[in-house]
């Protein structure tokens, strides 16, 4: 069964009150405007280019025109810049009302499948005297967190002269859904309680990340920015490139991004097991997430420990994708689903302590 056929999980919120509902919120100031003119995009991105031959810059957009754009007043503290998405960039701003099995940020560009959802921005330029190139960005996705550990592992890369240098903040881990879901860099954005629910429909995103790479002096250098869907073409991912930070001088640090939200009242305590071959978390490969982005792993532990308050979410390690989790995140006792539409916790395959 593909994901478009998956049964939506009904979730009950118990004993929860919120000071502001999405329906009563004012319109968000965050905007994303479709724009695929190469000259407009490069002018938005270039910062201090001392040492580069700026007259040599050649820029190429590769992919559907609706996948490229500019943004303003984002919730990530980037302020403005260029956005690339595996779907329509204009779908990214707005109120996040849906968290699992949603189609509000889900465009499959033709040809259907992954081939139409590989979006690239290419820069070719001559370096005269500069040593390094810098960039600041945020990666976000509608795949988070329920498709972490699956074949739907959308990814982002920044290849400088053929070498991918897009890493999470540890400086070694590449940027994709599964890696971000197990990283301290993750910020979840569930409806009603997420830090940017009135600004973006994305269910999760990274803290601002930093790119640096060594240039080849006296030669033409190539920077290839790529974001792509994997596994299928639905549930979009996006990367936000901060304006003025494509630079040969290290840009200043970005202020901390808001990460706080009310606790998510599900999956507290222990008792996380799986049947062999299901491809979902077990006692030896589980981790936990909470909505603030403060995450922990528990390799070889005694189950996915969500803590007494029940504010964490088990996330699968990489798997074959044969048994993929989509999980209801609001309300105690939420039912989980396999990709193959089996109910977890009812048939002896999976038990979740709530």
Give the 3-state DSSP-derived string for 159-172, with helices as H, strands as E and coil as C. EECCEECCECCCCC
* CA pair distance 191, 144, nearest whole angstrom: 13
8 A C-beta contact, residue 147 and residue 324? yes
Closest by Cα among 138, 132, 23, 128 to 77: 138
pLDDT at 4: 52
pLDDT at 274: 23
Q: Is 153 helix (H, G, I), strand (E, B) or coil?
A: coil
pLDDT at 2: 53
Q: How much is the pTM?
A: 0.74
Residue 325 CA: distances (Å) to CA of 3, 267, 335:
11, 14, 11
- pLDDT tens digits, the chain, 354 residues: what are they? 456 533 232 222 222 323 333 333 444 499 999 999 999 999 999 999 999 999 999 999 999 999 999 999 999 999 999 999 999 999 999 999 987 767 889 999 999 999 999 999 999 999 999 999 999 999 999 999 888 989 999 999 999 999 999 999 999 999 999 999 999 999 999 988 899 999 999 999 999 999 999 999 999 999 999 999 999 999 999 999 999 999 999 999 998 777 755 433 332 223 322 223 333 333 333 444 445 444 333 322 222 222 222 233 444 443 333 233 333 333 322 223 223 332 222 222 222 222
Contacts for 244 with CB less than 8 Å, ≥ 6 apart = 45, 46, 47, 251
Helices within the chain (DSSP H only):
38-45, 177-181
8 A C-beta contact, residue 95 and residue 22? yes
pLDDT at 255: 86
pLDDT at 261: 53
Angle at alpha carbon of residue 238, lines to 233 and 241, rounded to 5°: 150
pLDDT at 146: 85
pLDDT at 309: 27
pLDDT at 203: 94
Cβ neighbour number for residue 27 with a 10 Å cutoff: 10
Q: Is 224 helix (H, G, I), strand (E, B) or coil?
A: strand
Cβ neighbour number for residue 84 with a 10 Å cutoff: 26
């Amino acid at each position: 069964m593909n994901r478009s056929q998956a049964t939506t999980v009904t979730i009950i919120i118990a004993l929860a009150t919120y000071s502001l509902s999405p329906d009563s919120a004012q319109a968000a100031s965050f905007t994303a405007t479709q724009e695929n003119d190469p000259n407009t995009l490069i002018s938005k991105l270039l910062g201090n280019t001392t040492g580069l031959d700026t007259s040599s810059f050649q820029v190429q957009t590769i992919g559907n025109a609706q996948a490229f754009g500019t943004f303003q007043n984002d919730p990530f503290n980037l302020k403005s810049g260029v956005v690339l998405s595996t779907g329509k960039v204009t779908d990214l701003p707005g109120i996040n009302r849906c968290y699992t099995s949603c189609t509000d940020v889900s465009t499959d560009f033709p040809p259907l499948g992954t081939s139409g959802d590989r979006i690239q921005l290419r820069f070719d330029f001559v370096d005269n005297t500069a040593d390094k190139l810098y960039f600041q960005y945020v990666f976000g996705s509608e795949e988070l967190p329920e498709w972490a550990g699956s074949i739907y592992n959308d990814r982002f890369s920044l290849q400088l002269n053929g070498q991918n240098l897009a890493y999470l903040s540890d400086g070694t881990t590449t940027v994709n859904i599964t890696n971000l879901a197990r990283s301290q860099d993750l910020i979840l954005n569930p409806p009603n309680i997420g830090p940017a629910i009135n600004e973006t429909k994305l269910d999760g995103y990274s803290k601002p990340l930093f790119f640096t790479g060594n240039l080849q002096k006296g030669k033409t250098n190539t920077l290839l920015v790529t974001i792509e869907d994997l596994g299928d073409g639905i549930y979009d991912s996006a990367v936000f490139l901060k304006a003025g930070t494509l630079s040969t001088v290290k840009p200043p640090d970005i202020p901390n991004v808001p990460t706080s939200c009310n606790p998510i009242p599900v999956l507290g305590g222990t008792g996380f097991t799986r049947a062999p071959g299901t491809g979902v978390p077990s006692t030896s490969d589980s981790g936990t997430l909470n909505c603030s982005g403060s995450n922990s792993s528990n390799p070889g532990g005694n189950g996915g420990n969500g803590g007494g308050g029940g504010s964490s979410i088990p996330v699968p390690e990489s798997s074959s994708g044969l048994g993929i989790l989509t999980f209801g995140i609001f309300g105690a006792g939420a039912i989980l689903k396999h990709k193959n539409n089996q109910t977890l916790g009812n048939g002896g395959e999976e038990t979740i302590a709530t």
